[in-house]
Amino acid sequence: MIAALATCFELAGCAGAPDPAFAQQRGLKCVDDSNVCISQRKMVFDSYMADKSRAWMKQPAGPHEYASGVRLMAYSKMRKDLSCEQLAHAKEEADRGPASLSGGSYVGLTTAQVARGAMLAREVSRELANEMARRCR
């Protein structure tokens, strides 16, 4: 699942936007598989990878952010570079994913989008737990 999403991100073109914050919000809320949404998500993913301060980690994640997979993919990709504290934060966020996507809080998402987001959150949580077990004692 992670490899397939990463491939989608890599194959998508990068669309520019005049306001990066607006573009990020749009990219995190755009969850369908259209070329436009894939491009927007890739732009946000790339900005996360380039953000040395990792300020985006301090922003809350809601159902659409989990369904888009961008934050989870970023955590997965950068897990070897995160501090133990950042790994713990990322794992807590991934652990909240399935609950955030249940109970009707996911208005506007399809059942398949909810299921994929929850599955990705569980998979990333396992990856982060393994990295924590390996490095954080």
Q: How confident is the model at residue 15 (pLDDT cuts 50, 70, 90)?
A: very low
Q: Where are the alpha helices (DSSP H) in the chain?
A: 2-11, 20-29, 35-50, 63-68, 70-78, 84-100, 111-135
Look up the pTM and report it: 0.79
- Check pLDDT > 80 for residue 105: no
pLDDT tens digits along 44-95: 999 999 999 999 999 998 888 999 999 999 999 999 999 999 999 999 999 9
Radius of gyration of the chain (CA): 14
- Mean pLDDT, rounded, of the chain: 83
Q: Which domain holds residue 74?
A: 2-135
**Are 118 and 98 contacting, i.e. CB atoms less than 8 angstroms apart?**
yes
CB-based contacts of 77, cutoff 8 Å, min separation 6: 6, 49
Total number of domains in the chain:
1
